[in-house]
Structure formats: C-alpha cells, structure tokens
Structure 1
Amino acid sequence: MTDEPVGYDCHRDHGPYAGVAAFLGRIAADRPRLAARHRVELHAIAPRLDHTARPAAEEEPIRFHPARRTAWLAYGAVEFVAAWAGRLRQPVTVRFDHVGEADETTRELLDILARRIGSSPLRLDRRDGGPRRTVAADPTPEAIRRTLGDSLARGFYHHAARTARSGRATVTPDGDLRHWWAFTTGLATALAALDRATEALDLYHEARAATDDPKITMSAAYATAMLYARHLPAADQDPAQARHWLEQALHLAAGLHDQRQRVLSTVFYEQGLALLDSRAGEPARALRLIDDGLARLTAVLALGERPQDLARLRHNRAQVHLAMGDPAQAMADLDTVIAHDPDNCEYYVDRAALHRAADRSRAAIRDYGTAIRLGPHLPEAYYNRAMLEQERGRPERARDDLDRVLAIDPGHLDAQIALVNLHVEHGAFDAAEAGARAGLALAPQEPALLCTLGLIRSERGSLAEAEDLLTRALAGDPELVEAWTNRAAVRFERGDVAAAVADLDRAVALSAAPVPRYNRGTALMRLGRWEDAARDFTHALAQPGLDRALRRDLRTELARCRRATTG
C-alpha cells in the first residue's frame, strides 16, 4: 500500500462488513503470517479468505451466535490491522465510502479501528459519499433465503432482519407459504437476538393466524416457548407459558409421519422441558429427559452423524449434574462434549469453571485460552483468566486481560472494578482513580466503584469527599464490608472515633475477616475500652491464614491492652 488513498465501498447493499472485509483481505495477502494468527475472526468477517470453508448456512446444525459477537470479531480484526499498521514505514490513507449507509457490522469495526490506531501511520478517511459499485443481487426468494440463512448463521442479525423483511415483501402466505414462513421465522430469530423478542412473539402469532400447516405451527410453538423461557424481558418471561407451548410442539411432533424426524424433533423439544424442570428445582426429572433423549438419538443416528446435536444434549446433562452437586460427572460429560464438538467456545468456558472450582488453575487457564481463540476474543474468558492470573500472583498478565475485556466491552463493570482494584493494590492511584471515574461515568451509583474511589480520595487526603463517596456506596449496598471498613477509617482520621466504631460494628457483623476486628480494636483503644479492644485482637488472632505482618501487629496491640488493664 502507498500513501495514495485507497477507496472501499461500505454501503450496506453489499452486506455485512462491506468495504472493511476487502481491506482486511488486502492486508492478509500482504501479511499472511500475521493473518494466520487472526484466522478465526478474519474467516468470520471475510470468509472468502478461506477457500476451503463452507458457507456458514451449510454447516449442520446452525449454531446461533450472540449478537455481541460482532464486537469480539471487531476487536480481533482491529488488533490485526494495528499490528500491520505498526510496521508501516510511510503514511497510508485508506478511504471508506458510504459509511453513513453501511451495515452495523462495518460501522462498529470502523469506530473501534478509529479509536485504536492512535499515532500509527495509518489514516482513515471516512465519507458518506463516493463511487458506488453495482450490486448484482438475485431478487428471487431462493436467493434471498440463502442470504438470510448465511447472515443468521454468521450472527449478523441487523443484516438478517433487513434481508428477511425484504423477503417478506416479495411473497405472501397464500402465494408462497414455504418462503413466507422462512422469512418470517428468520426475522423473528434476528429480532430475538437483538433483544427485540416482543416483536418476534408478534410474528409467531401472525404465523399461527396465517396458516394451520402442522410443521409451521410446530416450529412456531417451540420458538414461542423459547421466547417465554429465555428471550423476552425478565418481567415478561413466563415458565408456564413456555411449558404450554412446548407441549403444543411435542403434540404436533408426535404426528410427524417420518419416524426419524419424529424422534429428532421430539428429543429437541424435550430439551426445553428439561431446561424448565432444572430451573424449577427438579433436576432429577430434567436428567431423565436428557438421558432418554440421548438414548433415542443414538438409536436413530448413524455412527458419527450429527455430533453437535449429541454434544448439545451432553452439555445440558453436564449442567444438570452440576446443579445436582456432581461436578465429577459434569466434568466427564464436558470432556465428551468437547471431544465431539471441539470448536464451541462455550464448552471450554464451562469446563474451565469446573477446573477453577477444583483448584486446577493451569487447566482452567488453558481452557479459557482455547475459548478466547475460538470465540474469538470472548470477554468473559479474558475476565475469568485475569482473575486466575491475579490469584496466581501474575498481576501484569491479569492487567493485560482486563485491558482486553474493556477494549472489547467498555461497559464491562466487573472488569473495570477488578482493574481499578488491581491498580490500587500496586499503588497506581492515578490509574486507579481514572478507571474508577470512567466506570462511574457509565454506572454512577455502582457501590464497588464508589467504595474504591472513596479509598483513593482518602489516601490523597480528601477526607470529606471520601466520606461522601463511601456513604453513597453504602446507600447502594448496605452489606459492602469494605465500605463500612473504609468509612470507619476516614471517620477515625477525622477524629470521630465513636462513629468509626459504629461503622466497624456493622463490618464485624457482616464479616469474620480479621481486618475489621483489628481496626475496631484500634478505635476502642483510642476510647480507652482496653478489654473490648483485647477481645477483638484475640478474636482476630484466632482466624486462619493471617499474614505475618498483621499477626505481628495484632500481638503488639494485644500486649498494649494487657499492660493497660494490669497497670
């Protein structure tokens, strides 16, 4: 590439990632080794780069991705571009045309790229105008349906919704029921993924009013059940309605003439019942449904056929075993699941959680790493790996992972809180305060961030501001032990020892940790209540796992109390 601007047409008529996919392809051709390290996200964004891959819609069965996956893809693609741009020897300007009319995937990636490239030689020229390429689109229902299926399978739901609406405009249920239903259910699937499940529910009601075709009404019944079980806003979810519609779907599945399809549909729908049973506190009943389903699937499937379906049931069973307090059996199921479907990041995240619970941190870190590669760049895997790295005494690795989480999802409050606390632990108060204030800009009443910012301001001598921040934290979470402890320290330093003791009374009531006892003992000594202070120091000394410095200080203060009471 040279400093002569290169133009890419980003108009949504060319589909998801229009313009940017071609730009990434050009870089990949220039830097194949770098592209190989970003193969997963590049294939997802620009599948033409992988000539051996099948279209996403041809993969059986289709795995529906969460809508937020596009942010994960964008992060990986931008890291790819940034690594390339960092090696440029001269400025390069890249022009992206029709950005205002681009698909949401394109705009999202360009927004992240503009924030990331910083002072590199790469310059972006983003325009709403520019030359248009001709779109040779096939307007037939069959072609629209293929495009819809591919967009759904790749998780590009805004484009899928537009495609489904255009398809619905070309057919009617009376004239072409098959395609009308495909466009209707495709639109409903896209809307549910985009947190617009109420609109999806209306579409299934419309389908039932338009036809009594048993296969369509069966599919609509199951989809309606899942909206009530999972996708509607929490206040509108209704397990009873979900169960009602699942029973309708099962009744219609029982009437299917093809015995194999009857088994497949029945088993699939029964997994919805198993979900409801598990949520209702009936894991044993859920387990029976899953075991029976696995037996029936195995009986009708050929060896090696539909491995992802079998993996999905075993994954469900692993979750039920975990709910029943049997992590060993859950682990055995997850090992089998991963052997059958090794490219699903969700399974590695679940297995990593089991490894972590069993103190197998190295195995957990390996599984989180695999999930990050396959996801790709799964924020929760980065976050959980950061927590493990911190526990293992590797703060720099933890900080790197937390930075990645926030680069992918700036609104990830848990990561923001963890990163701020990590900065505090290592005395980086400027970074900690900046992070806390950034988090509070997104969630002004977040108790943990208010508490940490209060601690930082107290360390910097702004005691009145610190007390106000800690009081706000306690208003949001009256059981936040750290806020009671920190406000007590501020009040003690401001000379209100009685108020400090009152705060520490609350902290001690909430936690058996030694620090609140130690602090309360110190405050009680200031009030001359030596025997009460001695009891706190003695109690704290009895706690297991005390670090050496705290144990020494407790013994010193206890000795002072004893001298005061005997002198």
Structure 2
Amino acid sequence: MSGPSDRPPSAAARRPHHWLIAPDESAARALVADALAEPGVPPVLAVLDAHRRLRGPFTAAGALMRQLVPGVLAADPEPAVRHDIEILAAAPELRTVLPCRRETLTSLTAPQKRTRYYPYIRTTRIAHGLIDFLTAVLDAPATLVVRHAEHADRTDADWLALLLRRADPQRLRIVICTAGRDVPQPLADALAAHTTPREAPATPLGPLPDDPAARWELAAGWVAADRSTDDPAAAACYAELEPAERARLHEARAEELAAAALAGEASLLRGPLAHHRALGTDPAGAGALALQDALQECLLEGFYDALAELGPLTHAVLDWTTRPEECWLVTARMTIAYSVMGGRADEALALYDDACASTALPAVHMSAAYGRAMVYTRYLEPERRDHRKAKGWVNTAVALSRLADTDARRAYNRTFNENGLALIEMHLGDPARALELVEAGIERMDGALDAEDQGQHRSVLEYNRAQLLARLVGPEAGAAAYDRVIDQDPHHSEYYFERAVLLRKLGRDEEALADYEHAIRTSPPYPEAVYNRADLRLELGDLDAALADLDRVLELDPEFLDAYVNRAGLRHALGDARGAAEDIAAGLAREAGQPHLLALRGLLAQDDDRPEEARADLEAALAGDPDLPAAWAALGVLAYERGEAEESVRCLGRSLRLEDDPVVRANRALAHESCGDWAAAAADYAAAIDLLLPEVAAAQDEADSAEVVTELSRLRGRRAECTARSAG
C-alpha cells in the first residue's frame, strides 16, 4: 500500500504563480491558453495589459479598478470608500462615482500653489492599498493575467511585485507575461522568488505583405494600439513610413485620445496623449503643451518615474532662447523627481547648472539656488551632504527673493526660502535659530498676504514650528502645536503619527493609540504607524492585538527588522517557540549580529536544554549590546546551573542594574544562598516581594492572582529562613 510521498514538492507546487515568457503576440496567446487550461486553475478575473504607453502610471492596476469598482459600489461600497485614495490614484476616471473622503491640503491645493510633494514611497503605499482592496472584494478563487509586464511603469511593476508576494495563490493565481527575461525591478526579483517560469520560442516572422496598403494598415494598427503590442511585422511597417505619414497617424490617434480624455478618461493625460502629440504634426506646439500637462499630472500624484521619462521629451521640443519660462518649469519638475527618487540627486544638480547657464531670469536663479541647497542638505547620500554649502546656496535664494515685483511676492519668496534656511540651521545644530526663522516667516506672511494667497505653505510653516517646539520646548508644547496643524489639515496621516509619539512621552497612552489608529485610517498603508501602534499595545498589555499589528507590518515590509525582533520576543513570551525561532532566523538573515535576536536565540536554546549554544549566543549578544538585561539574567541562570554561584551573582546583578525584575531578584537570592551570603539573599527576596505586590492588584483573573499569591508565599518563606540564618 502506498502512502504520502516524502519527496519535497516540485517547483511548480512551491510557486504556483506563473511567469510566461513569449517573444511575440502569437506565442504569448498560445502560452497563456496552455497555462489557463491546466487542472485546478481558477477562472480568469481579468486579462490586463501593463504596457505604460496605454495609460502611463498604474496602467494595469487602473484597468482592474475600472473593471471592479462599479460593481463593488453597487453591492457594498465600504471597501472602495476605505481605499478611495488608492483607487483614484490608479483610476482617476472613477472620481465621478467614488468621491475621495480623505483629501489633504496637498491633494486639494491648486498646482501653482503647491509647495509640498509626495514622497517617492507613496506609490508603494498605494499599491498595498490596491492589494488590500482586491483581497477584500475577491469572493471566489480567480486568476489574473497581466500582459507586457516588462513595459510596465514603475508603479505597476511595484504593484505586481507586491501582488506576487502577498497574494495567496489558492485565492488569486497570478500569470505574468513578458516578451523576455529583461524585466524592471522590483518585479524581476519577485518573478524569480514567487513564480514558475515557462518559455516559448518565437513564432517565425514571415515576409511582410507585398501590398503597400496592407503594410500601411499594419503600421496604422500599431499606432492605434499605442505601439503596445509585440508585433515585429507591424513595427517594421511603421519604420518604413515617411516621417510625415507617421506624424499624421500619431496626430489622428492623439485626437481620439483627446476626445476620450475630455469625456472623462483622465488617466490618458498622464502620458499616452502626450506621446502621440509629441510624435504628431505639431510637436513644439500641441506636443509641448500635452507633455507639460502630463508632467504636471505626474508631479502632483508623485509618479516620478513617469515624470523622469517625460521630462527629456519635453525639453526636446522646447528651447531656452524663446521659451525660457516653460523650459524652467520642465526643469523644476524634473529636479523635484530626481531629488526625491533616491540616487539621482546629481542629475538634479546638473539640471540646475544647465538652467542657470541657459537664462538670466532672476526667478530661475533664485529657485535653482534653493533647489541646490535642498540637494546638499537633504537629498544627497548622508556622507556627501554639505550643510555649509547648502546654507550658501539658500542665502543666495534669500537675496534674490528681494527682486520680486510686489511686496506680497517678496514676502512669500523670502519666507519660502528662509523656511529652507531653517531646515539647514537645524541640520547645523541650531534649532533655536530655525524656530526664529519659521516664526518670523509666519508673522511676515500674515502681514503681507491674505489666507488664500498664503496657500499650502502656511500649513507647512505651522508643521515645521510644531516639530521645532517639540524639540526645543518639550512634548506638551509640541503636541499643542500639532493640534493646530491637524485642525488645518485633518486628513494628513503623518501629523497624527508624530503627535502620537509626543502623547506617549506625556503618558497619554489612550490618546496616542487613537492617533495611531487615525494615522492608519487616513492614509494608504505604511508600516511605521502600524509598528508604533504594536509597540504601544505591547506596553498596554494587549498582546493579541500587538501580534496582529506586527504580522501586518511584515506583510507590508518583510525587511522591517525591528518587527522581527518584537514579534520574536512576543511569540516567545506567548509560548510559540517555533514562531519565535522563525522570526529570529528571518531577522538574522537581514542583520547577522542583531543583539536582541541573538539573545532571544540564546533563551530558546536555554529553554531547550542546550546550555553551550545558549551561552555562546548570549555572550555574542552582549558583545554587540552590553545593556540587555534579559541576556545578563539568562547568563546568570546558566552560571548557577554550572555551579558558578559568584559568576551568577555578577551576571544577575548586571541585569538588575539595567532593569529591576522580581524573577531576577529571586534568582540572585538563590545564588546568594549558594555563596552563603544570607543577608544579601534576604534583601533580594524582600525586594522581589515588593515588586510582586502590585501584580496581585493588576492580575487579570483569579488564576493569575492565585499564582502570584503562591509565589509571594514562597518568597516570604525563603526570606524568613535567610533572615534567620543571617541572624544566627
């Protein structure tokens, strides 16, 4: 009789998501059909095209939202309402049926008054929110097919990478199709980790049609498909066309897209329309205008990879001699993108140099000076930052701000630039001067501009003042200042997150918990707020909720080392040795010498009666961080068990100097007994009793209370005996 196989599961069983590699459309269709025909493959939810020429950022994710959201709103709108920011970022067309209820001053401020832009990480947060929405509304197992993933914008590449990691293949099977193995990050790593690849040979390319009209039809069809198909015959026919004929085809397609955008297809404005206009019959006119509109859309939404791709195309159809203001606007948007993207700050500096060499406009030189200052104080790698050089550049910007043609504009420009100077002063170690600059700016703007003209920047100044007051005056003053900032911008998640930190310092834990929950509700998902809530819940003794929060943190960011540390410790405390060991291994894989994890691994070895392994791990942990009370306490127990009572007293004493604990007191009392030091033992027992007494009142139920009472009785008995021996 045969039994279950002991052989490990096959790669296909371990990685049920699929990566289908087919170099042309015909081969891709055949490969997809074969994959979907396999036994056990769930029904197809959607077949998406991720080629960024179709819709720009979130091409694939937006198509899925447009397909799913109307039905969800009709059946149960709550999941869509809960993820309105994420859905509308991917599919702005849905704003007519799904109004956003979590608008911030950033999202509501007019483009010309925007002074704050989203961080680069925001699109990853949006991607997580879209996955949460999809998980919530998926009511049966399904398969999602995504074509042309190698041509995805970074937003879709990130979304697909996270989907491959997070999706339970028993609920949602992912089939990714590419023409080759050259795939952008982070999708490439996710495909390697979570899919079973299958490759098909190219379909032989036959001769092109002899009929010129047929060849023209192929080329025209390729343009009408936004050049998004892997059709080498169509691409070859397109390349054969005269430049003027190609331009006419692009112009005709641009007109179709413009009409669709006017009818509500807003995502077409993020790049697709602009690409056709730029290749059309009026690249310097209609093309430049469409490209600049696309740049603005991408900047306002934080789609910086798309912006960085569109920027050079826009510069190519403009020139500094005749259109310097437009050229600068393109440069300004590109430098914002390069600065926040990470690793591209030098490209921003080069653009500033080029702009200043190309025009003498004072506004350009002022803004470029400010931009250089921010690169040097904030955006370069930490070891390359130069705050003194940054101060020199921002002082140049302050000086040039005096050249504005009205008092109101001079006041605004000076305040904006001195706010940058305040950041630099803080980096140079003078927060008092920074606060002085910020408060002077608020007073200046109040005197020269009305509330509407101050725009979003007034809120930015109030926020900076709150940060500085918290640092200089204390958490109470800081929290009160955050109250004012939140009144102005009640859906800005980070304000609640930062105020919660101050409230915890003030001992206002319930208010801090409410702030963390508000921070989580008002934003697309990000792990830091959930992690801080977990830490507070641990402190408040809500262990199950803390564990759920730590699970969520690692779902959002599996590289979050502190979450492994805390979850490992919590699992150990809850008796889940296996789960703790898994977290320790995962954490040490990310930082081999992490002291808390080494200490915890030592405790597990101690629990498992492996004293030598325990001792090695505990000593390694203390070499990395000598202030770990649990590690010293465990070493003390190991020394006692080896019969080294004096070493046990020493180690337990180190632990108690770091953190007083009744169990460690009782253990040191035993070690003192072994040394014959009865008075010291009696003193430790007395201290342990004092520490345990409050636990009787705090016990959650009768069983807990009885356990503590029993331990108190035992300790009193030992104290009495040691006291007697000491007196005798």
Judge same fold: TM > 0.5, yes or no: yes
Superposed, 1:12-411 pairs within 5 Å as 12-13=52-53, 14-32=55-73, 33=77, 34-51=79-96, 58-59=110-111, 60-61=113-114, 63-85=116-138, 87-88=139-140, 91-129=141-179, 133-134=225-226, 135-136=272-273, 137=275, 138-139=277-278, 140-174=287-321, 176-196=323-343, 197-411=345-559
Residues 221 and 248, structure 1, Cα contact 8 Å, conserved in 2 = yes
Question: In structure 2, what is the equivalent of residue 462 of structure 1?
Answer: 610
Cα separation, 1, equivalents of 2:476 and 2:651: 43
Equivalent position amino acid for 2:723 in 1: R
Relative to 1, partners in 2 of residues 1:512 and 1:4: Cα closer, same or farther, differing over 3 Å? Answer: closer
Tell me the secondary structure at the aligned position of residue 403 of structure 2: coil
- 1:10 partnered with 2:50: yes
Cα separation, 2, equivalents of 1:533 and 1:113: 59
Deviation at 1:357, TM superposition (A): 2.5
Cα separation, 2, equivalents of 1:307 and 1:354: 27
Structure showing greater radius of gyration is 2
Residues 692 and 712, structure 2, Cα contact 8 Å, conserved in 1 = no
Greater RCO, CA 8 A, separation 6+:
2
Cα separation, 1, equivalents of 2:692 and 2:319: 72
Equivalent position amino acid for 1:148 in 2: L
Tell me the secondary structure at the aligned position of residue 441 of structure 1: helix
Residues 450 and 470, structure 1, Cα contact 8 Å, conserved in 2 = yes
Equivalent position amino acid for 1:9 in 2: D
Unaligned runs of 5+ in 1: none
Residues 475 and 506, structure 2, Cα contact 8 Å, conserved in 1 = no
Cα separation, 2, equivalents of 1:232 and 1:527: 59
Cα separation, 1, equivalents of 2:666 and 2:354: 66
Relative to 1, partners in 2 of residues 1:41 and 1:563: Cα closer, same or farther, differing over 3 Å? Answer: same
Cα separation, 1, equivalents of 2:670 and 2:555: 43
Deviations 1:93-121 (A, max 9, x none): 32111112212211221122223331444
| Aligned with 2:580 (options 432, 447, 454) | 432
Equivalent position amino acid for 1:558 in 2: R
Tell me the secondary structure at the aligned position of residue 411 of structure 1: coil
Residues 385 and 401, structure 1, Cα contact 8 Å, conserved in 2 = yes
Cα separation, 1, equivalents of 2:648 and 2:320: 72
- Structure 1 length as normaliser, TM-score? 0.90
Relative to 1, partners in 2 of residues 1:299 and 1:490: Cα closer, same or farther, differing over 3 Å? Answer: same
Cα separation, 1, equivalents of 2:369 and 2:661: 52
Residues 679 and 726, structure 2, Cα contact 8 Å, conserved in 1 = yes
Relative to 1, partners in 2 of residues 1:544 and 1:213: Cα closer, same or farther, differing over 3 Å? Answer: farther
Residues 463 and 494, structure 1, Cα contact 8 Å, conserved in 2 = no
Relative to 1, partners in 2 of residues 1:529 and 1:302: Cα closer, same or farther, differing over 3 Å? Answer: same
- 1:522 partnered with 2:670: yes
Relative to 1, partners in 2 of residues 1:212 and 1:516: Cα closer, same or farther, differing over 3 Å? Answer: farther
Relative to 1, partners in 2 of residues 1:200 and 1:552: Cα closer, same or farther, differing over 3 Å? Answer: farther
Relative to 1, partners in 2 of residues 1:4 and 1:355: Cα closer, same or farther, differing over 3 Å? Answer: closer
| Aligned with 2:633 (options 474, 485, 506) | 485
Cα separation, 1, equivalents of 2:713 and 2:424: 54
RMSD: 2.9
Relative to 1, partners in 2 of residues 1:229 and 1:502: Cα closer, same or farther, differing over 3 Å? Answer: same
Relative to 1, partners in 2 of residues 1:220 and 1:335: Cα closer, same or farther, differing over 3 Å? Answer: same
Equivalent position amino acid for 2:146 in 1: F
Deviation at 1:78, TM superposition (A): 0.8
Residues 344 and 374, structure 1, Cα contact 8 Å, conserved in 2 = yes
Deviation at 1:494, TM superposition (A): 4.3
Identity of aligned residues (%): 33
Residues 222 and 249, structure 1, Cα contact 8 Å, conserved in 2 = yes
Unaligned runs of 5+ in 2: 1-41, 181-220, 227-271, 279-286, 697-707
**Aligned residues, how many?**
563
Deviation at 1:479, TM superposition (A): 2.2
Question: In structure 1, what is the equivalent of residue 21 of structure 2?
Answer: none
Residues 151 and 159, structure 1, Cα contact 8 Å, conserved in 2 = yes
Tell me the secondary structure at the aligned position of residue 164 of structure 2: helix
Residues 67 and 155, structure 1, Cα contact 8 Å, conserved in 2 = yes
Structure 1 stretch displaced more, 357-366 or 312-321: 357-366
Tell me the secondary structure at the aligned position of residue 126 of structure 1: strand
Relative to 1, partners in 2 of residues 1:326 and 1:64: Cα closer, same or farther, differing over 3 Å? Answer: same
Equivalent position amino acid for 1:141 in 2: A
Tell me the secondary structure at the aligned position of residue 124 of structure 1: strand
Cα separation, 1, equivalents of 2:539 and 2:367: 47
Deviations 1:483-517 (A, max 9, x none): 22223323333444444334334334444555544
Equivalent position amino acid for 1:3 in 2: P
Relative to 1, partners in 2 of residues 1:311 and 1:558: Cα closer, same or farther, differing over 3 Å? Answer: same
Deviations 1:272-320 (A, max 9, x none): 2223334555444333322221122122333455453222111111122
Relative to 1, partners in 2 of residues 1:69 and 1:495: Cα closer, same or farther, differing over 3 Å? Answer: farther
Superposed, 1:518-557 pairs within 5 Å as 518-538=666-686, 547-548=695-696, 549=708, 554-557=715-718
Relative to 1, partners in 2 of residues 1:313 and 1:120: Cα closer, same or farther, differing over 3 Å? Answer: same
Relative to 1, partners in 2 of residues 1:227 and 1:560: Cα closer, same or farther, differing over 3 Å? Answer: farther
